[in-house]
Amino acid sequence: MEAVLGLIILAVPYFIPTIIAAVRGHQVGMVIVINLLLGWTIIGWIVALAIACGDRRPPVVAVPYMRRMPPPR
């Protein structure tokens, strides 16, 4: 019983990025893969956490408006 409890205590902090991504509904699949494959490294865990906590809005791309076509060369 102590082994199961110890495993749960160790697993919860390990899967914090996955839990955050699941709650926010933001790129859950990518966070799960990174967390499972690279979460054992500190950098992989931080990357998964950054993706899970990242902005959910798509980036806005500004397109300049041209009134008329430039003359041909």
1-60 confidence digits (pLDDT tens): 888 999 989 889 999 999 999 999 888 999 999 999 999 899 999 999 999 998 877 778
33/18 Cα distance (integer angstroms): 9
pTM, two decimals, is 0.70
DSSP 70: P
For 39-50, what is the HEC assignment? CCCHHHHHHHHH
- Structural tokens at position 45: 């865990």
The total of other beta-carbon atoms located within 10 Å of residue 18's CB is 20
Check residue 12 and give its pLDDT: 92
17/43 Cα distance (integer angstroms): 12
